[in-house]
């Protein structure tokens, strides 16, 4: 019979010390997306069905380009955080590590690709 205290039994199973930071970041990106989404939809929605020249002319202006870039970056960061929670909750072992790395590369790669494409249009 082992004499192990309650504290010793749960040691190492506690908080990872990042829950508050993760929750706060999700909250901030959610509010930012709540503010940016109507502007983004107004810009992109107005461009639907327009000829290529009109789209390029609209996205070449600084304010619409900044709003679209901010929406891409904040949206992809928010997506990465949400996918991280899903992966950590439902995948174990090596699959978890691979999933987290793949998710991070995908989300930041999409954000970088979108910003580069937007910069090529705007410049």
From first to last of its 123 residues, the chain has per-residue pLDDT tens of 567 777 766 666 556 667 788 899 999 999 999 999 999 999 999 999 999 999 999 999 999 999 999 999 999 999 999 999 999 999 999 999 999 999 999 999 999 999 999 999 988
Domain membership of residue 6 (yes or no) is no
Q: Which residues span the domain enclosing 31?
A: 19-122
Q: Residue 4: its pLDDT value, please? A: 74
Domain membership of residue 2 (yes or no) is no
Q: Residue 54: its pLDDT value, please? A: 95
Domain membership of residue 83 (yes or no) is yes
Domains held by the chain: number: 1
Q: Is 81 exposed, middle or buried (0-12, 13-18, 19+ CB in 10 A)?
A: middle
Q: Residue 10: its pLDDT value, please? A: 65
Q: Residue 19: its pLDDT value, please? A: 74
Domain membership of residue 68 (yes or no) is yes
| DSSP track, 30-66 | HHHHHHHHHHHHHHHHHHTT--HHHHHHHHTSHHHHH
pTM here is 0.83
Domain membership of residue 13 (yes or no) is no
Q: Residue 122: its pLDDT value, please? A: 86
Q: Residue 13: its pLDDT value, please? A: 57
| CATH code for the domain of 71 | 1.20.1300
Domain membership of residue 24 (yes or no) is yes
């Amino acid at each position: 019979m082992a004499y192990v205290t309650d504290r010793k039994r749960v040691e190492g199973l506690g908080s990872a010390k990042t829950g508050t930071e993760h929750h706060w970041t999700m909250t901030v990106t959610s509010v930012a997306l709540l503010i940016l989404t109507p502007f983004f939809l107004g810009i992109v929605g107005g461009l639907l069905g327009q000829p290529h020249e009109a789209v390029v002319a609209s996205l070449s202006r600084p304010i619409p380009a900044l709003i679209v870039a901010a929406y891409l970056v904040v949206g992809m960061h928010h997506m990465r955080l949400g996918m991280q929670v899903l992966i950590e909750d439902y995948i174990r072992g090596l699959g978890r590590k691979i999933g987290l790395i793949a998710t991070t590369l995908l989300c930041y790669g999409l954000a970088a690709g979108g910003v580069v494409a937007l910069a090529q249009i705007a410049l």
